[in-house]
Amino acid sequence: MASITLTPTKQLSLESNATQTLSLLERCSRMEELKQIQAQMFKTGLVADTITVSRILTFCVSPKYGNLEYAQMVFDRVSRPNTFMYNTMIRGYSNHKEPEKAFLLYQQMLCHSVPHNSYTFPFLLKACSSLLAIEETKQIHAHVIKLGFGSEVFATNSLLHVYATSGSIKAARLLFDQVPERDTVSWNSMIDGYTKCGKMEIAHEFFKDMPTKNVISWTTMISGYVGAGMFNEALNLFHEMQIEGVKPDNVALASTLSACSHLGALDQGRWIHAYIDRIGVEIDPILGCVLIDMFAKCGDMEEALEVFRKVRKKEVSLWTAVISGFAIHGRGREALVWFDNMQKVGIRPNHITFTTILTACSHSGLVEEGKSLFESMDRVHKLSPTIEHYGCMVDLLGRAGFLREAMGLIEKMPVKPNAVVWGALLNACRMHKNVELGKKIGKFLIEEDPNHGGRYIHLASIHAVAGDWDRAVEARRQMKDRGVSKLPGCSAISLNGVVHEFLAGGQSHPQITDIYQMWDSIGERLEKEGYKPALGNLLLDLEDEANEMAINRHSERLAIAFGLLGTKPGTTIRIVKNLRVCEECHTVTKLISKIYDREIVMRDRTRFHLFRDGKCTCGDKW
DNA sequence: GTAGGGTTAG
């Protein structure tokens, strides 16, 4: 008796019949096995019946294997594919890289008069959704109605989802109001749609009004808040969810942790981490990444590494999260060690890993290492550098003072440099006081995008570095005159588990009078230590034109004053959100840490600073 | 005797 060997337990004898073939297909776990089974079927003269072909197609289009070419080959050899097979192929294409081909199959299906069933439209509309194809959606919508699927909840839900999340929220609303049957999925899609176009109040109305909420409803609303930058609202909603007794799953936890991470709400984040351990949720790579990111951003690399050790599936994203943690702490050497170790265990770095490791090198002054990594991207790893990587390199060279080399790199970039790349060079000009080049770039950037507030601020800061306050104020004034708005500076501080936010010029905090008084006394102490503010007074009189320049520092000073009020000497103050820690702020905070004997932790968009006893760990040389 | 096998939302 002849037989082929698949795996020791899976043998297919010549006598096997269709039923055995099916059970083999069911247990099949690799593409190779599938091909062997098919070869054997051919050899033994077994003709694949409808269900066997269906099984094969299902196997090939599953996201895990995704061998659509092979599925298409099998499909092409079926003389008259039935609805199921068409549906399966449409599903396959809609989930993978060529959603357009789903439309092609649908066309064939119509040509051959193969009937639809209730599965056809959800698959087809998924393709519309990934292509943001509103025109096609409208056409399919017409078919849904014409073919009598207008009251099928799956079909109408899929339509709702495409309209709501592809920029046609009004069409979604119209449909939502008229469909005969609505379920939780319909409501969830509406909430998702409204959060995606920034209509947070309406989204919340829907959320409040819906008859039954499930964990996805809660998560949609929470991640909607996170996407809109409303982190406190996100956290509050998570607490409400707990009170309602809805058990959060990994997605809900990841969204909430991301809110904690943005807010710097380390206490709440720790609570959720403990909760995850307590209820025994497995830390999947996504949850692992947000936990690592949160601890790293809040300053606790040890806890971040502890999480890394606990995650079973150590994917590239997890290693990258750790490397990113070292990067924001200016621990470039360790980042490099982890980058090497990751490859030693057979994990290949991707584009994001390179962005991260280049940032780490840049922030730690590891110029040679960065250059050699950048060069190795294409040569060793077969990854072509993107504009982000060029941006990192300009930043790396620029920070190290190689302005000409950075300029040269920009000139020979294969793609048009964007504002991020120029911004990196401009920042380098500011650091190294290259006023001439800085002014040129600053003006150029404003011409490119006159409505972008940040550009004016950049130019102003260059003039400020040169001590040319008149021009600096002028750049600010120009911005004001053109009606360009800038988001007000914002700082947040975490104290006893509560996050307090301060806006530049803000007066709304209940203890605002004490805070201003505190800052006055801080100012006196600082001046006694010999500190002289570069411009204007310390806290800034916001009415005073000359102080326009330093308005950014207003919010962080309110936060520090508040922190000093609420803590004792020898303890830690956490400024958990801040736009940028500038040179002035650095000097002031170093002094405060010494005079008031506090450890001050400060996080800006890219860095982590720990001020202790008049020093800072970030390693920046001003 | 003609089902079976596969759906939508974070």
**DSSP secondary structure string, A50-103?**
HHHHHHHHHHHHSTTT--HHHHHHHHHT-SS--HHHHHHHHHHHHHSS-THHHH
Q: Which amino acid is at A607?
A: R
CA A496/CA A498 separation, integer angstroms: 6
Is A293 buried (19+), middle (13-18) or exposed (0-12) by CB count in 10 A?
buried
Pairing between strand A572-577 and A490-495? antiparallel
- Residue A306 is predicted with a pLDDT of 95
pLDDT confidence of A522, banded at 50, 70, 90? confident
Determine the nucleotide nearest to A52 by Cα–C1' distance: B5
Determine the nucleotide nearest to A185 by Cα–C1' distance: B9
Nucleotides of B strand lying within 7 Å of any protein CB atom: 4-10
Determine the nucleotide nearest to A152 by Cα–C1' distance: B8
Q: Which two tokens stand for residue A601?
A: 């932790």
Asked whether residue A559 carries a pLDDT value surpassing 50, the answer given is yes
CA A344/CA A228 separation, integer angstroms: 40
Which residues in A531-549 are b (16+ Cβ under 10 Å) and which e? Answer: eebebbebbbeeeeeebbb
Is A415 buried (19+), middle (13-18) or exposed (0-12) by CB count in 10 A?
exposed
Determine the nucleotide nearest to A191 by Cα–C1' distance: B9
Please list the alpha-helical segments (H only) found in A400-496. Answer: 403-411, 419-431, 435-448, 453-465, 469-481
Length A515 CA → B10 C1' (Å): 41
CA A183/CA A449 separation, integer angstroms: 45
What three-state secondary structure class fits A499? strand
Least confident of A74-78, A119-123, A125-129, A229-233: A74-78
Length A186 CA → B5 C1' (Å): 27
CA A322/CA A339 separation, integer angstroms: 9
Asked whether residue A226 carries a pLDDT value surpassing 70, the answer given is yes
Which residues in A131-164 are b (16+ Cβ under 10 Å) and which e? Answer: bebeebbeebbebbeeeebbebbbbbbbbbbbbb
Determine the nucleotide nearest to A121 by Cα–C1' distance: B7
Strand partners, A601: A574, A610
Give the residue with minimal CA–C1' separation from B7. A119
- Residue A512 is predicted with a pLDDT of 86
For A370-418, write each residue's pLDDT tens digit.
999 999 999 999 999 999 999 999 999 999 999 999 999 999 999 999 9
Determine the nucleotide nearest to A187 by Cα–C1' distance: B9
Q: Which residues contact A611 (CB under 8 A, 6 or more apart)?
A: A589, A590, A592, A593, A599, A600, A601, A602
CA A412/CA A190 separation, integer angstroms: 47
Q: How many CB atoms lie within 10 A of CB A213?
A: 19
Determine the nucleotide nearest to A186 by Cα–C1' distance: B9
pLDDT confidence of A219, banded at 50, 70, 90? very high
- Residue A619 is predicted with a pLDDT of 64
pLDDT above 90 covers a percentage of chain A that reads: 52
Q: Which amino acid is at A85?
A: M
Which residues in A435-457 are b (16+ Cβ under 10 Å) and which e? Answer: bebbbebbeebbeeeeebebbbb
CA A46/CA A206 separation, integer angstroms: 56
Stretch A279-304: mean pLDDT: 92
Q: Which amino acid is at A353?
A: T
Phi-psi region of A326 (alpha: psi -120 to 50; beta: other; left: phi over 0): alpha
CA A279/CA A273 separation, integer angstroms: 10
Tell me which DSSP letter residue A549 carries.
Answer: G
Q: What angle do CA A9, A15, A18 make, to 5 degrees?
A: 85
* Cβ atoms of A441 and A422 closer than 8 Å: yes
Q: Which two tokens stand for residue A424?
A: 């990196």
Asked whether residue A519 carries a pLDDT value surpassing 60, the answer given is yes
* Cβ atoms of A61 and A75 closer than 8 Å: no
Asked whether residue A250 carries a pLDDT value surpassing 90, the answer given is yes
Length A182 CA → B2 C1' (Å): 33
Q: What angle do CA A501, A503, A507 make, to 5 degrees?
A: 95
pLDDT confidence of A2, banded at 50, 70, 90? very low
Length of chain A, in residues = 622
* Cβ atoms of A370 and A396 closer than 8 Å: yes
Strand partners, A12: A4
Q: Which residue has the higher pLDDT, A520 or A25?
A: A520
For A474-495, write each residue's pLDDT tens digit.
887 888 888 776 666 788 888 8
DSSP percent split of chain A into helix, strand, coil, nearest 5: 65, 5, 30
pTM as predicted: 0.83
Rounded alpha-carbon distances, angstroms, from residue A47 to A4, A21, A255, A299: 18, 11, 50, 64
CA A285/CA A317 separation, integer angstroms: 7
Lookup result for tokens 């190779």:
A32
Lookup result for tokens 């039935």:
A82
What three-state secondary structure class fits A215? helix
pLDDT confidence of A510, banded at 50, 70, 90? confident
Length A214 CA → B10 C1' (Å): 10
Length A56 CA → B1 C1' (Å): 26
Nearest residue to A293 (alpha-carbon basis) of A603, A619, A612: A603
- Residue A552 is predicted with a pLDDT of 57
Length A31 CA → B5 C1' (Å): 19
Pairing between strand A599-603 and A498-503? unpaired
- Residue A45 is predicted with a pLDDT of 63
CA A447/CA A445 separation, integer angstroms: 5
CA A166/CA A185 separation, integer angstroms: 17
CA A191/CA A175 separation, integer angstroms: 14
State which protein residues have CB closer than 7 Å to strand B.
A 49-51, 54, 58, 82-85, 87-88, 91, 117-120, 122, 126, 129, 153-154, 157-158, 161, 165, 183-185, 188-189, 192, 214-217, 219-220, 223, 249, 251-252
Tell me which DSSP letter residue A546 carries.
Answer: G
